[in-house]
Amino acid sequence: IVDTGVDYRHEDLTNVIYNNPGETGTDSQGRDKRTNGIDDDGNGFVDDWHGWDMVGNDNDPRPGNVHGTHVAGITAAQVNNRIGVAGICNVARILPIKCATDSPVAPSILNGYEGIAYAAALGASVINCSWGGGTASQAEQEVISTAIGLGSVIVAAAGNSGVEEQLYPGSYAGVLSVAAVGSNDVRASFSSYHSSVGISAPGVSILSTYPGNTYGYADGTSMASPVVAGAAALVRAKYPSLRPNQVVARLKATADPIDQITGNRNRNWMGKLGSGRVNAFRAVTELNPKYVELVTATITDDDGDRVFEPGDVVSIVPTFRNLLSPTTATHAVIRPIGIGSSVFVFSDSLLDLGPLSQDAILTASTPFRLTVPQNAPQNYVLTCQVIITDQSVVVGRGTLSIIIRPTFRTLNNGDLVLTVNSTGNFAYNDYPTNLQGDGFRYKDSPSVLFEAGLLVGYDADHLSDVARNETGNVQSTDFAIGIPAVLQTITASHTQQVTTSFADDGLANQANVAVDQRVLVFTDDGKRDFALSVYRITNRNTQSINTMYCGIYADWDIGPSGQNDVAIWSEPDGFYYCYNTRDQSLPYVGMQIISDHQSNAFMIDNNGTTAENPGVYDGYTKAEKWRTISSGIARTRSSVTDASAVIAAGPFSIGAGASEQVVISIFAGRSLDELRSAAERARQTAQQVLGITPSAPQTSAVSARVLPNPIHGDQLAVEYSLPGSGPLCIVITDALGQIIATALEPGFYPPAGRAILSLPHATSGAYFAVVRSNRGNVAVPFVIVR
């Protein structure tokens, strides 16, 4: 039970808690292995005799929040003991894995995928995950695939938003996602639904165990999931030779159909509640059930570019696998499902597959065919359901998706893979779901970039961007497509490039700029570990702008959820880099300004909440964006956490109607030394291909301090030091980046000096003295205490 922890002393659970045989009994010196302080079984966890706390990093997985105890009772509370409730499976043993804090009011799962990996390594037959999030990650999918490969069946909740959505881990390949129904088999109003749901189960008013020998009712797909997990445990006990995918197949094959129950009350969710409502009795007693799964599908078009545009004939060649009993007359039919799908009509929608023996894998000899209609919308995700029958009886269901008229393209030179969209984003086109695109991958790594977006502006009130907004749940949409992304392969120069153009709407709070973007990767040996992103920024204002900045916000997830990453600005190298501190097999990544502009850099702890580190979990405001792109080399190192980084060029001047070229490189390597080599090759290549003179790495040319600090009165002094006389200005900003005072007006100043000013109206809090010069910028934090 990967959850908030389990009360393993509960009267109805204490006798069904799993005891790790490698950490129980006595050791060679006669000591109790449970408490001897030794990792007796050598799995990396000391004294984990009855589970583990993944957040507290100790061997006491008691809750926290009540959620995990309630889930555990549904699956396996002791039966026939005249106490409390009865779990679904009477032979299961519960392995409590706590992935939450000790707070009783905090149900959030923090290290769930580490918990899944631990459970699988310890030999869990079934892993229940009554939790999830709306974003996908290749690294997390690899954890799931590894756990299944070790023999675990993984069951997860479909979500409680009451809308059509994909929740993860439930929607990962190989996981059995569970929707919730009421006692009448109608979808519960709160239950999410989707074509990725595999099965449904009761999830309304479920009575189960609560900590402290108590009991209570709860609703949710969190309650439906352990019902199915318990049924999976029964199947594993009855049929121990079945593989994990065969256990899932048997549960689906023996589920009671609910799509067309009396009154057709589930008609709005047909194909999105799975194979039906789980039937544990049928799952363990039915003889010779049949289940054929859709394994994969090869999708092509008649012009061979795999970009599905109006008029293209799309061919879908599916591959099937029979997981259970043999079939004799197998057929497959495909149909579009979902809002807006009625305009898509298959010309060839039925396939004759013939007989299939158990474990047979068959690739169809003829394809499903579809012509993309002229009125198809951009980036439309066409979801199709494939229904498999044997002698007209349904023996399997599967879904596949096709993105129609995509406005993004993926560069791939064999080592580096990078998706570019048509509005200034890298990696994915559909934050935060992240299914449209291939992310950023290096060699054999999963995608390590969760989000990246362009920011262009000249103050906090005139900034256009496509990074996550102040809610954190969606991205800003300041840029609109001008010319959609086009992918070209240029054989003569051994390059691939994506070109696109976009612009903001010129609204009062925007920068009023147009952007032409070209992103290049190279196929030559020695040049396959970097990409060059070239931006031509055009000022559409009627006046010159002297303080323009152009940068990229990037949220790196190197490893599952990116929880062990660190982002660092390297002053000698003139770039920032990010890497996973625990897994050295994952790549180092970095970014640098190559064009002849000053660099600005800000390393972010995503969970930060202080003035010094604003964080982005609570959103990324325009003021925070402005501060992170315009404060010089401001915050040079993140904590070891889920980290983001910002790099920007500026300030630079653009006349009215004029343009400025900014070049930023993205690069990767297996070590910091390899990263340095990639960065240097990117600079050399930019000089050769683009004809520019790369900027030299910046040193700390500017320093400053605020006296006193903290400040208890009204007056303060800002002392500065420059390498020589030159242009300079000093402003005071609040924690959100808003200018509240000017210490030195823009002008030409000596190499060292002091500015004295008074802030009689400033309230207690955190502030910054921002020193800007032609040799760099610096932001010095200080505190006012009233």
Largest CA distance in the chain: 90
Give residue 699's pLDDT band: very low, low, confident or very high (50, 70, 90): low
So what's the pLDDT on residue 700? 56
Q: Are residues 399 and 412 in the same domain?
A: no
Strands 52-53 and 97-98: parallel
Total number of domains in the chain:
4
- One-letter amino acid at 451 equals E
Q: Are residues 400 and 412 in the same domain?
A: no
Q: Are residues 648 and 770 in the same domain?
A: no
Q: Are residues 170 and 281 in the same domain?
A: yes
Question: 698 in a domain, yes or no?
Answer: no
- One-letter amino acid at 343 equals V
Q: How many CB atoms lie within 10 A of CB 182?
A: 15
Residue pLDDT, tens place only, 71-116: 999 999 999 999 999 999 999 999 999 999 999 998 999 999 999 9
Last residue of a domain, one of 370, 389, 404: 404
Are the C-beta atoms of 601 and 647 separated by less than 8 Å?
yes
Cis ω before 202 (30° cut-off from 0): no
Give the DSSP letter of residue 612: S
- Extract the tokens encoding 391: 């002698």
What is the Cα–Cα distance from 480 to 483, expressed in whole angstroms? 9
Cα 482 to the chain's mean position, in Å? 28
- Extract the tokens encoding 530: 């970097």
Give residue 483's pLDDT band: very low, low, confident or very high (50, 70, 90): very high
Q: Is the pLDDT of residue 692 over 60?
A: yes
Q: Are residues 470 and 600 in the same domain?
A: yes
C-alpha closest to that of 435 among 138, 670, 59: 138
Q: Are residues 732 and 601 in the same domain?
A: no
Question: 696 in a domain, yes or no?
Answer: no
Q: Are residues 631 and 498 in the same domain?
A: yes
Q: Is the pLDDT of residue 290 over 70?
A: yes
Q: Are residues 258 and 296 in the same domain?
A: no
So what's the pLDDT on residue 475? 97
> Can you tell me whether residue 180 is helix, strand or coil?
strand
* Average pLDDT rounded to a whole number, residues 472-489: 96
Dihedral pair phi/psi, residue 422, rounded to 5° = -100, 15
Are the C-beta atoms of 714 and 756 separated by less than 8 Å?
no
Active site members: 3, 67, 222
Q: Are residues 711 and 726 in the same domain?
A: yes
What is the Cα–Cα distance from 670 to 721, expressed in whole angstroms? 38
* Average pLDDT rounded to a whole number, residues 732-740: 81
- Extract the tokens encoding 536: 């031509």
Give residue 563's pLDDT band: very low, low, confident or very high (50, 70, 90): confident
Domain boundaries, position 42: 2-285
Q: Which helix (H) or strand (E) holds 141?
A: helix 138-149
Q: Are residues 400 and 472 in the same domain?
A: no
Give CA torsion, residues 97, 639, 447, 457, to 10 deg: 140
388 burial level (CB within 10 Å; 0-12, 13-18, 19+): buried
Give the CATH number, domain containing residue 371: 2.60.40.10
- Extract the tokens encoding 552: 């990229």
Q: Is the pLDDT of residue 173 over 60?
A: yes
- One-letter amino acid at 257 equals P
* Average pLDDT rounded to a whole number, residues 421-429: 98
Are the C-beta atoms of 74 and 87 separated by less than 8 Å?
yes
So what's the pLDDT on residue 134? 86
Residue pLDDT, tens place only, 255-281: 999 988 867 789 888 889 999 999 999
So what's the pLDDT on residue 774? 72
Last residue of a domain, one of 690, 725, 747: 690
* Average pLDDT rounded to a whole number, residues 543-567: 93
Question: 695 in a domain, yes or no?
Answer: no
Give the CATH number, domain containing residue 724: 2.60.40.3880
Residue pLDDT, tens place only, 615-661: 999 999 999 999 999 988 888 999 999 999 999 999 999 999 999 99
Question: 73 in a domain, yes or no?
Answer: yes
Question: 122 in a domain, yes or no?
Answer: yes
Question: 92 in a domain, yes or no?
Answer: yes
Residue pLDDT, tens place only, 195-216: 999 999 999 999 999 999 999 9
Q: Is the pLDDT of residue 698 over 80?
A: no
So what's the pLDDT on residue 498? 98
What is the Cα–Cα distance from 264 to 267, expressed in whole angstroms? 5
Q: Are residues 368 and 388 in the same domain?
A: yes
- Extract the tokens encoding 625: 């964006």
Q: Angle at the Cα of 262 (from 261 to 264), degrees rounded to 5? A: 70
Give the CATH number, domain containing residue 634: 2.70.98.90
Are the C-beta atoms of 100 and 65 separated by less than 8 Å?
yes
Q: Are residues 370 and 471 in the same domain?
A: no
Residue pLDDT, tens place only, 305-349: 889 999 999 999 999 999 999 999 999 999 998 888 999 999 999
At how many degrees (to 10) do helices 221-238 and 67-76 cross?
Answer: 40
Question: 131 in a domain, yes or no?
Answer: yes
* Average pLDDT rounded to a whole number, residues 725-741: 85
Q: Which helix (H) or strand (E) holds 233?
A: helix 221-238
Give residue 353's pLDDT band: very low, low, confident or very high (50, 70, 90): very high
Q: What is the DSSP string of 187-229?
A: BPTT--B-TT--EEEE-SSEEEEETTTEEEEE-SHHHHHHHHH
Are the C-beta atoms of 319 and 362 separated by less than 8 Å?
yes
Q: How many CB atoms lie within 10 A of CB 305?
A: 12
Residue pLDDT, tens place only, 496-536: 999 999 999 999 999 999 999 999 999 999 999 999 999 99
Q: Is the pLDDT of residue 487 over 70?
A: yes
Residue pLDDT, tens place only, 455-468: 999 999 999 999 99
Question: 48 in a domain, yes or no?
Answer: yes
E strands within 655-738?
659-669, 703-707, 715-721, 726-734
Percent of the chain whose predicted confidence (pLDDT) is above 90: 85
Last residue of a domain, one of 641, 662, 690: 690
Residue pLDDT, tens place only, 22-77: 999 999 999 999 999 999 999 999 999 999 999 999 999 999 999 999 999 999 99
Q: What is the mean pLDDT of the chain?
A: 94
Q: How many CB atoms lie within 10 A of CB 550?
A: 26
